[in-house]
Structure 1
Amino acid sequence: MQNFKLRLSKKSLIMLAFIIIIFSVSYLFLSKNESFYDKTIAKIISVDEKYSTAHGINGETEQIKNQKIKAVIMNGHHKGQEIELQNKASFSQINDLDLKVNDEVFVTVKEDANKNIVSSQIIDFKRDNYMGYTIMLFVVLILLIGGYKGFRSLCSVIINICIFLILVQLFLYGFNFTIGSIVASILFIILSITIVSGRNKKAFSAIVSTMIATLIAMLISLLVIKLNNWNGIHFEEMEFLTHAPENIFLTEILIGTLGGIMDIAISISSFVKERYDINPNIETKGLIKSGFELGKDIMGTMTNTLLFAYISGSMPIILLLFRNNYPISYIININMSLELIRAITGSIGVVLSIPISIYTSVFLIKKNKIGEV
């Protein structure tokens, strides 16, 4: 018992030291990373604000904040020089850069023949610091709460992001996107589950369940769409693409559905494995019944999660259309058709994954069809 506590203490100290190192290095990099940018970056040192009122064509008014800014260039051959900038911020956030002292912005500078700065203009806000701090908080929390398994989960996320970026690059070089997405999805499933859960019955059961449920959900969706000849599906929001939107849309369905199904599969496999470990003599019927009780609880929340996740991405355009008095039927038919189909397809996969995961887990775990690796 004493040795166990000692080992646990050592692991905790190692994890804490690892977190402190990650936090310190990341903070130093984020606070001093201007030299890594090709674009000119300026740090605001003072802001002088004046207010005015803007009038709309329908008689509405809005307060405008006019900012006269002094800033110091942080990179490039003009580093250290002071410049003056102008910025407007409005209540409606049409002009949404409400700048403060110590904020950093990307700027363009115009030079004369002697390379002296003649004028400068703000391009955009430098947001990487805030994004970086958010990511740091996520990493710290997942390591503190999840420990070693949290670290493995983090590795899984990083690997999946790398796979996705490789997939996009292959697509840009002309590789078949559909085939690439299928291969990437298989890698997502195998690597995500095995990295987090290890190589064991539970992981193998979750992998098999995820693949079967995803395949069936995609076949059902594809069959329905093909029989309907894509009627009622509007690709207006994909009109900027230079490739067939149908293939891109099917890939979106595949990857989006995969996440929900994988979550269900690993949850049920873990539950079945734990119940079996507690009572190896449990009857198959009782184990299946317990699995269905868990599955029913997960089903409702996961279906809502998929629906909210997809529709939330369309909230800005939905609110804009409502404000311009477009009917709800038009909004659903034109602007929400893709999101609803993704959500419905994902929900089909979630519902199917419950019985598939239960029976697969019981078959592989209780019946001892495979051994521990």
Structure 2
Amino acid sequence: MNAIGLLSVILFTLMAFVGGRQGVRSFVALLLNLLAVILTVFFMLNTSINLLIITLIACVLISCINLFFINEINDKTIAAFLATIITVTILLLFIHLVTKYALIQGFSEEETDEISGYSLYIGIDFVKIVTSVIIMSTIGAIMDVAISISSSLHHLLRLNPLLNKKELFQSGLNIGRDILGTDANTIFFAFFGGYLGLLIWFKDLEYSFGEIVNSKVFSGEMMTIFCAGIGIALIIPISSWISTFILMRDKEKSTSNN
């Protein structure tokens, strides 16, 4: 058994031991997410399909796997799903415009030697590629915030059924504020850790601080972090509003039936 197989067994064992049936479903969802990403890349190679549409479909599929497959279909997951898709759609259009006018797509001058032997006429829009990469890097954090707020409001209303719409919505915002900073920093350190080699590369190239900040590859990564942070900030009010609407609607139906 190789290292990947061994780590997979250890991960499955721990998830099953700690999470029980839910942990097993989470592990299966992890494999399904891997399959979804591979299929997304496969369809991206088909240039006749708009890459943004493929990305949106992939986000819907990933959201269904992580929300409905793991936690089943209920008010909490429906609210989180709707909030996630709305946020991703808004973010998709915003990132596409930012990428287009910031000119961060494509290869940087530091990568010239590495790609000199390859043809750059591959028939794929690099603006849409960068947009897809940013969205796929952010979807996990967006879903995490959405389900956290939705689940918290669900339990909060059960504990205090006298809450009105305004109070429940404000509670969602307060919960979102508490997790906003930690999630934004999680994304920052995830990208920083993944691109630590980039900083070492700049050191070898003897770049000054100004050259590092203005380099295309560094600017692209920083814009990715900022766009991801914008998505996290955006999902908080959207998830709070949708969760409040669904929960209060169900509460009113239950009250009228009784």
Q: TM-score range by the shorter chain?
A: 0.7 to 0.9
The answer (yes or no) to whether the contact 1:232–1:333 under 8 Å persists in 2 is: no
Q: Aligned runs of 1:69-108 on 2, under 5 Å?
A: none
Structure having the higher strand fraction is 1
Say which one has the larger Rg: 1
Of stretches 164-173 and 131-140 in structure 1, the one that deviates more from structure 2 is: 164-173
Q: Aligned runs of 1:48-197 on 2, under 5 Å?
A: 129-174=2-47, 176=49, 177-197=51-71
The question of 1:327 aligning with 2:238 is answered no
Q: Secondary structure at the match of 2:189?
A: helix
2:158 paired residue number? 277
CA distance in structure 2 between the partners assigned to 1:315 and 1:221 by the alignment: 24
CA deviation after TM superposition for structure 1 residue 174, in Å? 4.4
Query: CA RMSD for the aligned pairs?
Result: 2.4
Alignment match of 1:354 (pick from 229, 232, 236): 236
Q: Which has the higher contact order (CA 8 A, sep 6+)?
A: 2
CA distance in structure 1 between the partners assigned to 2:14 and 2:55 by the alignment: 31
| Alignment length (residue pairs) | 243
Provide Cα deviations, 1:103-143, integer angstroms capped at 9, x if missing partner. xxxxxxxxxxxxxxxxxxxxxxxxxx222222222111111
CA deviation after TM superposition for structure 1 residue 261, in Å? 0.9
Question: CA distance change for structure 1 residues 203 and 224 in 2, over 3 Å: closer, same or farther?
Answer: same
CA deviation after TM superposition for structure 1 residue 223, in Å? 3.2
2:170 paired residue number? 289
Q: Structure 1: give runs of 5+ residues left out of the alignment.
A: 1-29, 31-128
Q: Aligned runs of 1:291-310 on 2, under 5 Å?
A: 291-310=172-191
CA deviation after TM superposition for structure 1 residue 232, in Å? 5.8
Provide Cα deviations, 1:50-83, integer angstroms capped at 9, x if missing partner. xxxxxxxxxxxxxxxxxxxxxxxxxxxxxxxxxx
Provide Cα deviations, 1:171-215, integer angstroms capped at 9, x if missing partner. 335453333222111111122210111111111000011111122
Question: CA distance change for structure 1 residues 298 and 156 in 2, over 3 Å: closer, same or farther?
Answer: same
Question: CA distance change for structure 1 residues 214 and 202 in 2, over 3 Å: closer, same or farther?
Answer: same
Normalization by structure 1: what TM-score? Answer: 0.60
CA distance in structure 2 between the partners assigned to 1:300 and 1:234 by the alignment: 31
Q: Structure 2: give runs of 5+ residues left out of the alignment.
A: none
Q: Secondary structure at the match of 2:250?
A: coil
Alignment match of 1:342 (pick from 224, 228, 247): 224
The answer (yes or no) to whether the contact 1:201–1:365 under 8 Å persists in 2 is: yes
CA deviation after TM superposition for structure 1 residue 270, in Å? 0.5
Q: Secondary structure at the match of 1:336?
A: helix
CA distance in structure 2 between the partners assigned to 1:370 and 1:265 by the alignment: 23
CA distance in structure 2 between the partners assigned to 1:250 and 1:317 by the alignment: 21
Q: Aligned runs of 1:3-14 on 2, under 5 Å?
A: none
CA distance in structure 2 between the partners assigned to 1:154 and 1:369 by the alignment: 34
